[in-house]
């Protein structure tokens, strides 16, 4: 693996652990300045992820300038766009399938990570930039381009995707949903291999996260209303059966 790739991984890990030191300092600073401490978490999230992305892009700038960031024999633009759009649906189907299996295994539905993220967005809507754009870009560069890419040079697709997807799942620290995250990792790895363009899984990942956030924040009330209406209709019909 290239030296720059190792540094990218270190930067990503450092970003994930930075809150252990940086967040308490920011909480103390906000308190001293009379700023609401509830804003410390979203501000630190935005700052740490943005700085990490900037550093990683600087580390990979030579590859991007030389055109080596994407595979030279990658799919055409038209084919890549097709797989990028199709990839969103594939990721959702994989997620649903994995969720059904988890339910059969007795794992409760719902993600604590997702709820925490939605709470952060409620406190500071700008945090959606991290959850919907910056986060997915970082994850695809680290877990698909670097980790999966390095493994795929030595092993077949299944083994490479399995190892990188489990690492991807473990990084989310929700081990009860490791199957769910791994299924998504497999899907994004498939898109990367199929098109040889990292922008394709990035697009699918960004789109999926954005839709999830929109559904559970902006359109939350509308969806709950539709669910209540659907239940009322079912109960009404059930009264005649």
How far is C-alpha 182 from the geometric centre of its chain's CA atoms? Answer: 12
pLDDT in tens, 93-115: 998 888 888 888 887 776 777 77
Q: What are phi and psi of 174, to 5 degrees?
A: -125, 80
Token digits of residue 212:
């999830």
Active site residue 4: no
pLDDT digit of tens for each residue in the chain (241 aa)? Answer: 788 899 999 999 999 998 888 888 888 888 888 888 888 888 899 999 999 999 999 999 887 766 666 666 778 888 899 999 999 999 999 988 888 888 888 877 767 777 778 788 888 888 889 989 999 999 999 999 999 999 999 999 999 999 999 999 998 888 888 999 999 999 999 999 999 999 999 999 999 988 888 877 655 555 455 455 455 445 544 444 5
Active site residue 172: yes
Q: How far apart are the C-alpha atoms of 132 and 135, rounded to whole Å? A: 7
Q: Which of 70, 139, 140, 177 is catalytic?
A: 139
pLDDT at 240: 46
């Amino acid at each position: 693996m290239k030296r720059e790739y190792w540094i990218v991984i270190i930067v990503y890990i450092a970003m994930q652990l930075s809150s252990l030191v940086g967040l308490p300092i920011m909480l103390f600073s906000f308190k001293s300045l009379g700023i609401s401490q509830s804003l410390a978490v979203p501000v630190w999230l935005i700052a740490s992820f943005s700085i990490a992305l900037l550093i990683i892009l600087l580390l990979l700038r030579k590859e991007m300038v030389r055109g080596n960031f994407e595979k030279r024999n990658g799919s055409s633009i038209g084919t890549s766009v097709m797989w990028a759009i199709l990839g969103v649906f594939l990721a959702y189907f994989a997620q649903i399938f994995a969720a059904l299996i988890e339910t059969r295994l007795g794992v409760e539905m719902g993600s604590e990570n997702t709820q925490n993220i939605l709470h952060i967005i409620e406190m500071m809507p700008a945090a959606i930039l991290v959850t919907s754009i910056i986060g997915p870009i970082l994850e695809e560069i680290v877990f698909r381009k670097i980790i999966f890419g390095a493994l795929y040079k030595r092993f077949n697709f299944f083994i490479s995707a399995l190892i990188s997807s489990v690492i991807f799942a473990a990084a989310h620290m929700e081990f009860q949903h490791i199957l769910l995250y791994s299924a998504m990792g497999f899907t994004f790895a498939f898109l990367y291999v199929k098109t040889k363009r990292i922008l394709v899984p990035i697009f699918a990942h960004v789109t999926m996260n954005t839709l999830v956030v929109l559904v559970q924040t902006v359109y939350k009330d509308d969806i709950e209303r539709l669910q209540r209406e659907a239940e009322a209709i079912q109960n009404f019909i059930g009264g005649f059966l």
